[in-house]
């Protein structure tokens, strides 16, 4: 699982005996979020979060999606031009 991988909670009931670290991650994964973002929100190194996410994946509590390919990402230059145009019209 790479830092860019996307994760989110699965449609499964959470066991009562989860460690606090796992519960904190599950709370962050209620929507689709990258491994790096989860790590940033929790203030943990991405490598630590990857290990904890691997546990959750093995237990069927999260699902993963591959990162968005560069060709499908938003064009930042175009977005800046749009923002500039909107700002200049105010």
Instruction: State the total domains in the chain.
Output: 1
Instruction: Summarize pLDDT for 31-68 with one digit per residue, the tens.
Output: 899 999 999 999 999 999 999 999 999 999 999 988 76
d(CA 3, CA 39): 9
21: domain range?
Answer: 6-88
Residue 62 is predicted with a pLDDT of: 94
46 within a domain of the structure (yes/no): yes
Residue 70 is predicted with a pLDDT of: 64
| Confidence (pTM) | 0.71
Position 72 pLDDT exceeds 70: no
Alpha-helix runs per DSSP H in the chain:
20-28, 35-42, 46-58, 76-88
34 within a domain of the structure (yes/no): yes
1 within a domain of the structure (yes/no): no
Residue 71 is predicted with a pLDDT of: 62
Position 15 pLDDT exceeds 80: no
76 within a domain of the structure (yes/no): yes
């Amino acid at each position: 699982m790479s830092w860019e991988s996307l994760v989110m909670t699965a449609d499964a009931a959470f066991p009562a005996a989860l460690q606090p670290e796992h519960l904190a991650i599950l709370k962050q994964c209620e929507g689709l979020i990258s491994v790096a973002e989860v790590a940033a929100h929790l203030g943990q190194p991405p490598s630590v979060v990857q290990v904890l996410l691997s546990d959750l994946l093995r237990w069927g509590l999260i699902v993963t999606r591959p990162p968005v390919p560069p060709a499908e990402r938003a064009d930042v230059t175009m977005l800046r031009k749009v923002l500039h145009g909107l700002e200049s019209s105010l």
